[in-house]
């Protein structure tokens, strides 16, 4: 008698969910990251004085590229691309300052030329970068993730209260109450609900918020009718790409910082999903970020990284299937190709998105703190390393004009809380924990 065949159970990351659940959970991922994703083209376009029509083109391209890279990260492409984890890709805030400086100095063709160069650079160094993963222990990645979350809380608060303190409507009590009610609902669902309902807590909070906001007169779908059914910017919309040396170097530095940020997020998701990552897995994930540079430079989009708020969503919902994120990628591609769908999502008021985002951003910080629990602080200088890195990293958040008198090249690095934190915690970890030297 032959022995029965034992079929190994799939890891939760690789389990396929029913179509209905995939669609709903994928939409939840999109709603959580949408505001942060489109904020980058809105900020860059506003800072560089681009017209509304051109900014709309950038938004569509941004969503399209984010969707493609999200699908690549979750499904993978053979042995060359994609970490195969529930990783949602989106436009990184790390590139904001460099893009604005490059665009103001050299013009938009240089912005996208430097992205193309950074994409090639990223693909070339993805494998070597993954080989030095031992230089990114929980001390480094935990500190970086903590600051990513803390730095994003400012964006969440801005969505709720507004960004102009001189505006009479800033901090409107009804807006604050709306956001607070969404947060409270998310908390209550997590406390008292069970099963699948818990995984939809954020989506339920958003739907509740939209209904209440509509009753308050805050929802305006008028732009949906004017939007087209299909549209994607033609390649090299701003003309042939240009490659000024300073711009290329700056964007390649940004790519290095993106790699540290993405590595931290990939390790965090791997920890949350109990999935062991190899150096090759990380290399494939980083290479996908590099490909985002090629797509961004071609289709007038932006460099992508693993979105930290979606790492927080994995923690909150406990849904580990990577195919949920694939569904989110498909939705993002559709939003990028069908402007009408994008306008529907864009019509969700800031206080509604901000209420849910605040929970996600703070959850990212909590994930970072959880990683830091694995660090040995007794009899080491690790507490000092964390303190200095977080202190210096938060300066651009609490005092945006702090480095205003520095040269532009230094502002590119120091003006970003994430970049500053990455550089400092990495160098201090090398100094105290890797360089061999003797104290007399």
Report how far residue 100's alpha carbon sits from residue 183's, in angstroms, rounded to the nearest whole number: 34
Choose the most confident range, by mean pLDDT, from 3-7, 117-121, 414-418.
Answer: 117-121
Helices (H) and strands (E) in the chain, counts: 18, 2
Residue 403: what are its φ and ψ, rounded to 5°?
Answer: -105, 20
Residues β-bridged to residue 91: 304
Q: Mean pLDDT across the stretch 388-403?
A: 87
Q: Which pLDDT score, from 0 to 100, does residue 12 have? A: 75
Q: Print burial letters for 230-264: b (CB count within 10 Å at least 16), e (below 16).
A: ebbbeebbbeebbebebbbbbbbbbbbbbbbbbbb
Q: Mean pLDDT across the stretch 97-102?
A: 76
Q: Mean pLDDT across the stretch 271-276?
A: 83
pLDDT tier at 287, thresholds 50, 70, 90: very high
Q: Print burial letters for 180-203: b (CB count within 10 Å at least 16), e (below 16).
A: ebbbebbeebeeeeeeeebbbbbb
Of 19-23, 114-118, 312-316, 425-429, least confident by mean pLDDT is 312-316
Q: Which residue in the block uniquely carries the two structure tokens 């300066």? A: 395
Higher pLDDT, 252 or 389: 389
Of 1-10, 148-157, 188-197, least confident by mean pLDDT is 1-10
Q: Over the chain, what is the mean pLDDT?
A: 81
pLDDT tier at 260, thresholds 50, 70, 90: confident
Residue 81: what are its φ and ψ, rounded to 5°?
Answer: -135, 145
Q: Mean pLDDT across the stretch 103-110?
A: 85
Q: pTM of the entire structure?
A: 0.71
């Amino acid at each position: 008698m032959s022995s029965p065949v034992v079929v190994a159970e799939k890891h939760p990351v690789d389990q396929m969910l029913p179509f209905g659940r995939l669609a709903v959970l994928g939409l939840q991922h999109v709603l959580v990251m949408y505001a942060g994703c489109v904020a980058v083209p809105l900020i860059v376009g506003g800072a560089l004085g681009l017209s509304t029509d051109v900014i709309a083109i950038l938004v569509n391209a941004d969503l399209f590229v984010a969707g493609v890279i999200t699908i690549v990260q979750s499904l993978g492409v053979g042995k060359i691309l994609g970490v195969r984890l529930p990783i949602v890709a989106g436009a990184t805030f790390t590139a904001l300052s460099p893009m604005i400086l490059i665009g103001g100095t050299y013009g938009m063709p240089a912005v996208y030329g430097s992205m193309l160069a950074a994409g090639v650079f990223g693909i070339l160094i993805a494998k070597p970068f993954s080989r030095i993963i031992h230089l990114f222990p929980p001390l480094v990645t935990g500190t970086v993730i903590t600051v990513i979350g803390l730095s994003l809380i400012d964006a969440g608060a801005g969505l709720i209260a507004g960004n102009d303190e001189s505006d009479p409507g800033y901090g409107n009590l009804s807006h604050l109450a709306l956001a607070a009610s969404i947060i409270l609902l998310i908390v209550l669902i997590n406390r008292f609900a069970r099963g699948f309902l818990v995984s939809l807590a954020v989506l339920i909070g958003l739907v509740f918020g939209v209904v209440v906001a509509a009753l308050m007169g805050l929802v305006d779908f008028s732009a949906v009718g004017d939007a087209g059914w299909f549209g994607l910017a033609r390649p090299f919309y701003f003309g042939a790409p240009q490659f000024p040396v300073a711009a290329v170097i700056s964007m390649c530095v940004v790519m290095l910082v993106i790699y540290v940020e993405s590595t931290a997020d990939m390790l965090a998701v791997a920890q949350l999903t109990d999935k062991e990552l190899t150096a090759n897995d990380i290399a494939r994930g980083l290479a996908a970020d590099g490909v985002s540079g090629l797509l961004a430079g071609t289709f007038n989009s932006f460099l992508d990284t693993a979105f930290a708020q979606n790492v927080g969503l994995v923690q909150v919902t406990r849904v580990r299937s990577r195919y949920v994120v694939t569904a989110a990628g498909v939705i993002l591609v559709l939003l990028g190709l069908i402007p009408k769908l994008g306008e529907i999502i864009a019509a969700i008021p800031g206080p509604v998105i901000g209420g849910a985002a605040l929970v996600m951003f703070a959850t990212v910080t909590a994930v970072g703190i959880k990683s830091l629990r694995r660090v040995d602080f007794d009899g080491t200088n690790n507490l000092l390393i964390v303190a200095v890195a977080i202190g210096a990293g938060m300066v651009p958040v609490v005092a945006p004009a702090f480095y205003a008198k520095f040269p532009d090249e230094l502002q590119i690095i120091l003006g970003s809380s994430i970049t500053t934190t990455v550089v400092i915690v990495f160098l201090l970890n090398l100094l105290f924990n890797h360089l061999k030297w003797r104290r007399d």
